[in-house]
Amino acid sequence: MMKKIQKRQCLWIGIAVVLTMSFFSILATVTLTKVWGKYEEIVFDERTKIDIQTAHEYKVLRELNHKFANEDSACSVSLLRKMRDAEFHLNILRDLGFVKDNLLYCSTRLGILQAPIEREAFTINNPNSDIYFSPGTIVANIDVEVKKMAVQIGNFQAFLSLPENLYIEFGWLTHATVLFVNDSYELLHGSAEVIPRPIAEIGESASWLDGGEYVSQYCSDDQVCTIVEIKIAEYFHHFPEILIALISTLIILSILVVFAVIVFHNKYSMLSGQLRRGINSRRIICHYQPLYNLRTKTYDSVEVLCRWTNEDGELVRPDIFIGQVEKNEQTSELTETVFRKAVHELKSAGLFGKIRFAINFFPSDISNGTAKRLIEDLLPEQHASLVIVELTEQELGHINSVVEAILMIRQEDSSVAIDDFGTGYSNFQHLEKLSVDALKIDRSFIFGIDKNALRSKLVGSIIDIAKTLNLKVIAEGVEHDAQLQCLLALGIHYSQGFLHAKPMPVGELKHFLGQHRTRPD
């Protein structure tokens, strides 16, 4: 037994831990992605600024082309002056050069060359514009070889001089802007470590977690993309306090969830244990809710509703413990206790024989003969008609097994009512076969009946079926006069609900019935 409990508790704790971990990882991922998203935004903003700036500077190159379209191959002094003037206003493009047939004739830094320098063709072209990028990026500048991206528009070219620290630079964040050409890409600026994904694969913008890295790629047009990579381990290395906060939250959350699961589990296992020890006339309390007969304008019957007092002295409603009673297989025990107590209380209050009372039975009570036995044991023959056996519609699944039992109960002279009618699957044939006396329409149909034409139609058709089968109809959960008026117009027999009275102990019932008519004059 002990082993079984331990095993079960371990299972619950395991479930709790898995739940916490999953919940926490979702929460942490969402939160951190939002935080990283902020850095990503800063980089993308910078990138946009550069885009605007370069677009403006490309215009200068275009204007030079326009003005010096017919310049002969040798670079003139006036052209060089114009190029130097233009460069003065440029920030990102540097060292303007004049090129023809892949030969550099002059540049703002080198001046007019004695012999033109050969330049590799700039073949990477952005199809949306007239800009060409240098493929090799190694270019001779005076007598040094510089590795830089260069652009060419017409006869003019310039180096892209993007400050290395243009973007925020942290050890844990790297970024790059690349130009996609067919299946490969060229780094425009940023870190060569960054590996972009083909646009076709990820769309124009996307963020993803990639083996310990948070990566975000944004493409401003169909070829130029900026990629931001955050190395998660490095990030936590820089911000250990965030890691500590996350781990502490995870630990606290796990403790709370494990605690809650244990409390919940114990409560239910306690409920089960307490019910096993505590279904007796001391712990079971009967409350009585009067039913109003609309034909005779009398309160001629009541429904017995049980409550249970747990070991802490708290009154527990049936919805909470009935399921556990079924699991504990204590249904007959409960029905018998309620039935005995109700008969005893009604007798003591002097109400026995004056009103009929409805008792809720379990289907097993009907099929195993408990209902019939209790009626015979507790009610003298002439009083069997006082009891109304209530059976929930949803529990009438195995109809054949209950048909016979219901017939036997009716032979005792007791009535049978189908409770919560409308929530199950009974059809006309079922009802005909069951041969019951009354239908109790579930309160979900009565709620808002005065305002909802469809509900009123549904209740109307239930009443029509009941009339055809000669059954009484009881409306449950009647709370307002408007509902009652509507039900009256539809031809209902009984009304039960807070409008008339709430379920009450027998003492209050006696007082209530003393103030209302229980028999027609």
Binding site for ligand C2E (CB under 6 A): 289, 305-306, 317-319, 322, 338, 360, 362, 390, 392, 419-420, 443, 476-479, 496-498, 503
- Taking the least distance from each CB to ligand C2E, the nearer of 150 and 366 is 366
Strand pairing class (298-309; 173-181): unpaired
CB of 336 to ligand C2E, least distance (A): 10
Rg of the Cα atoms in the chain = 43
Beta bridge partners of 112: 106
Q: List CB contacts of 242: < 8 A, sequence separation 6 or more.
A: 235, 236
CB of 521 to ligand C2E, least distance (A): 27
- Taking the least distance from each CB to ligand C2E, the nearer of 229 and 420 is 420
List the beta strands (DSSP E) in 232-350: 284-293, 298-309, 315-316
In the structure encoding, which two tokens stand for residue 339, read together?
Answer: 């039935």
What is the spatial distance between Cα 166 and Cα 35, in angstroms, rounded to a whole number? 21
Torsion of CA 265, 268, 273, 278, to 10 degrees: 160
- Taking the least distance from each CB to ligand C2E, the nearer of 185 and 421 is 421
What is the spatial distance between Cα 419 and Cα 318, in angstroms, rounded to a whole number? 15
CB of 305 to ligand C2E, least distance (A): 4
Single-letter residue type at 449: I
CA distances from 409 to 118, 365, 444 (A): 111, 11, 29
CB of 287 to ligand C2E, least distance (A): 7
CB of 347 to ligand C2E, least distance (A): 18
- Taking the least distance from each CB to ligand C2E, the nearer of 180 and 361 is 361
Helix, strand, coil shares, percent, the chain, to 5: 45, 25, 30
The C-alpha angle 435, 438, 443, rounded to 5 degrees, equals 135
CB of 38 to ligand C2E, least distance (A): 50
Q: List CB contacts of 471: < 8 A, sequence separation 6 or more.
A: 431, 436, 437, 438, 439
In the structure encoding, which two tokens stand for residue 155, read together?
Answer: 């006869």
In the structure encoding, which two tokens stand for residue 165, read together?
Answer: 């620290």
- Taking the least distance from each CB to ligand C2E, the nearer of 54 and 392 is 392
CB of 315 to ligand C2E, least distance (A): 11
- Taking the least distance from each CB to ligand C2E, the nearer of 190 and 363 is 363
For 196, list phi and psi in degrees, rounded to 5.
-80, 160
Q: List CB contacts of 325: < 8 A, sequence separation 6 or more.
A: 275, 279, 331, 334
Beta bridge partners of 125: 132
Question: Contact, 151 vs 157, CB < 8 A?
Answer: yes
- Taking the least distance from each CB to ligand C2E, the nearer of 201 and 319 is 319
Q: Which residue is nearest to ligand C2E (CB)?
A: 497
- Taking the least distance from each CB to ligand C2E, the nearer of 174 and 324 is 324
Question: Contact, 308 vs 321, CB < 8 A?
Answer: yes
What is the spatial distance between Cα 468 and Cα 331, in angstroms, rounded to a whole number? 34
CB of 321 to ligand C2E, least distance (A): 9
Q: Is 233 helix (H, G, I), strand (E, B) or coil?
A: helix
- Taking the least distance from each CB to ligand C2E, the nearer of 190 and 477 is 477
- Taking the least distance from each CB to ligand C2E, the nearer of 106 and 306 is 306
CB of 425 to ligand C2E, least distance (A): 18
CB of 274 to ligand C2E, least distance (A): 17
- Taking the least distance from each CB to ligand C2E, the nearer of 86 and 474 is 474
CB of 324 to ligand C2E, least distance (A): 12
